[in-house]
């Protein structure tokens, strides 16, 4: 019977030695890749600073001018007449809030129009994204061709800014909110589709495999195996997109696509600086209110217990 030398060290070809060599090789490869990535990142950062001329002296010299600009566009409000209403002749008193917001009804009508534009565009965009995200998910696509086509299509949708889409639609169908809605909906479909597909790729595949094992088809796998898992995240991303689309609806109005942006473009063109602040203040308040409402809706859909 052959004896085993317990005092001998590990042999070059035993399992432990092979495992240690393989682990050391992986660590060297990972270290090399980390050094490569850090070097590429620092190079890209340096080029970005050089191209954008993001130099501390320029930033320090320019920051005070920002406050000077805000000083020039602030309204000339006077405390003694701040809450004065219109006089017998229907004219507002200069220095009062009524004078500053003399076009308040117009602003509110355009703000409401902007919200409805964003709501319609979000619904259309989210619906398209919902349909596109499943074939655009690596783990759910029926085949690689459909996966690649779906991915490239969503990249085209979100790769072009909303304002360029708005310019095209204004040229094609004329000035008005419809052009803005279509432009924002296309961009939302691309952006939300990417987020939705990433959520799908992180979903557990066990329910899908179970449905497939009992003879379910692709649609049944998606309907019963994936959608119940990912729907709370879909709702959360859609509400966030709605908030973003309210701001986007304010921008596309600059090219005639409706909303409060058209009024903002008008007051800027007329050098009515105090009116610019009045419109921007309403936009900020609107976005804040939508954010608070979205938070409540998100809590309702996801469940307060899942946020703790």
Q: What is the pLDDT of residue 306?
A: 60
Closest CA to 250 of 279, 278, 275: 279
Angle at 164 between CA 116 and CA 241, to 5 degrees: 40
CATH number for the domain spanning 259: value is 1.10.3720.10
pTM to 2 decimal places: 0.77
Confidence of residue 236 (pLDDT cuts 50, 70, 90): confident
Say if 108 falls within a structural domain: yes
Q: Residue 272 domain-assigned?
A: yes
Residue 285, pLDDT > 70, answer: yes
Task: Give the rounded percent of residues in the chain with a pLDDT score beyond 90.
Answer: 31
* Mean pLDDT for the chain overall: 85
Question: Is residue 95 in a domain?
Answer: no
Least confident of 1-5, 259-263, 271-275: 1-5
Distant-in-sequence, close-in-space partners of 186: CB < 8 Å, separation ≥ 6? 125, 157, 165
Residue 11: how many CA atoms within 13 Å on its side-chain side? 6
Answer whether residue 187 is part of any domain: yes
Q: Which residue has the higher pLDDT, 77 or 36?
A: 36
Section 200-221 average pLDDT: 89
Q: Is the pLDDT of residue 224 over 80?
A: yes
Total domains in the fold of the chain:
1
Residue 25 forms part of a structural domain? no
- Domain assignment present for 212: yes
Query: By C-alpha distance, which of 239, 241, 249 is closest to 283?
Result: 249
Does a structural domain hold residue 271? yes
In which band, very low, low, confident or very high, does the pLDDT at 1 lie, cut at 50, 70 and 90? very low
**Can you give 61-73 as a three-state secondary structure string?**
HHHHHHHHHHHHH
What average pLDDT does range 35-64 have in this prediction? 90
For residue 295, being part of any structural domain is answered with yes
Share of the chain above pLDDT 70, in %: 94
Q: Determine the pLDDT at residue 308.
A: 55
pLDDT of residue 184: 93
Q: Which of 1-5, 273-277, 281-285, 303-307 has the lowest mean pLDDT?
A: 1-5
Q: Which helix (H) or strand (E) segment is 247 a member of?
A: helix 227-252
User: Which of 8-12, 14-18, 34-38 shows the lowest per-residue confidence on average (mean pLDDT)?
Assistant: 8-12
Question: Is residue 78 predicted with pLDDT exceeding 90?
Answer: no
Averaged pLDDT, 288-294? 85
Q: 288 and 279 in contact (C-beta within 8 Å)?
A: no
User: Cα(253)–Cα(246) distance, rounded to whole angstroms?
Assistant: 11
| Choice between 97 and 111, residue whose per-residue pLDDT is larger | 111
Structural domain boundaries, residue 260: 102-302
Statement: residue 9 has pLDDT above 60: no
- DSSP assigned state of 203: S
Q: What is d(CA 162, CA 165) in angstroms, rounded to the nearest whole number?
A: 5
Confidence (pLDDT) at 55: 85
- Could you tell me how far CA 295 lies from the centroid of its own chain? 16
């Amino acid at each position: 019977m052959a004896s085993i030398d317990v005092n001998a060290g590990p042999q070059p070809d035993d399992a432990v030695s092979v495992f240690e060599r393989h682990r050391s090789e992986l660590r060297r490869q990972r270290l090399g890749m980390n050094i490569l990535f850090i070097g590429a990142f620092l190079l890209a950062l340096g080029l970005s600073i050089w191209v954008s001329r993001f130099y501390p002296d320029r930033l320090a010299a320019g920051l005070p001018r920002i406050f000077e600009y805000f000083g020039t566009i602030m309204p000339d409000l006077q405390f003694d007449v701040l809450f004065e209403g219109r006089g017998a002749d229907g004219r507002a008193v200069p220095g009062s809030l009524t004078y500053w917001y003399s076009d308040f009804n117009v602003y509110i009508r355009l703000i409401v129009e902007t919200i409805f534009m964003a709501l319609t565009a979000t619904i259309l965009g989210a619906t398209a994204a919902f349909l596109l995200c499943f074939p655009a998910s690596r783990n759910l696509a029926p085949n690689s061709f459909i996966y690649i086509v779906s991915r490239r299509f969503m990249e085209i949708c979100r790769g072009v800014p909303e304002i360029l889409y708005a310019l095209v639609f204004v040229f094609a169908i004329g000035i008005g909110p419809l052009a803005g809605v279509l432009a924002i909906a296309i961009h939302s479909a691309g952006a939300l589709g990417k987020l939705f597909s990433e959520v799908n790729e992180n979903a557990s595949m066990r329910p899908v495999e179970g449905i497939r094992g009992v003879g379910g088809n692709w649609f049944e796998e998606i309907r019963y195996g994936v959608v119940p898992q990912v729907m709370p995240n879909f709702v959360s991303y859609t509400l966030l997109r709605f908030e973003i689309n309210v701001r986007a609806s304010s921008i596309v109005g600059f090219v005639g696509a409706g909303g409060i942006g058209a009024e903002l473009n008008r007051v800027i063109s007329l050098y009515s600086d105090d009116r610019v602040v009045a419109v921007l203040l309403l936009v900020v308040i609107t976005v804040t209110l939508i954010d608070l409402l979205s938070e409540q809706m998100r809590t309702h859909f996801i469940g307060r217990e899942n946020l703790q």
